[in-house]
Amino acid sequence: MRNALLCARRSVPSLAAMSLIATTSTGCLAVGGSKHSESPTLGKQLLDLKTALDSGAVTEQEYAAEKAKMLQQPAPAAPTG
C-alpha cells in the first residue's frame, strides 16, 4: 500500500508537467487576452490540403477542386496602419 502511495505521489507532478508541455507545445495556452486571430495563409491552406490528400482524407478529384477554388480566391488586402 505504501509503495502505491509513493508511486501516486510521483506521478502527479509528472502528469502536471506533461499537461503543461502538451498545452504550450500546441499553442493552446492563451496569454494576454488577445482575441485577434490571423487566418491561415494560402500556403498553409494548400499544405494542409496536400496533407489531407496524402493521408487519404480527400480524393484526387476533391483535392483538385479545392485547390482550384483556393487559387481563384482574391488575395487578402495587406494590413494598414
Q: Report mean pLDDT in 10-residue bins for the chain, 81 residues.
A: 54 47 50 73 97 98 97 78 63
Contact (CB, 8 A) for 39 and 11: no
Domain for residue 6, yes or no?
A: yes
pTM for the structure as a whole: 0.49
Domain for residue 31, yes or no?
A: no
Nearest 10 degrees: Cα torsion 19, 22, 26, 27? 40
Domain for residue 68, yes or no?
A: yes
Residue 12's domain spans which residues? Answer: 2-26+39-72
- Total domain count for the chain? 1
- Amino acid 23: pLDDT: 46
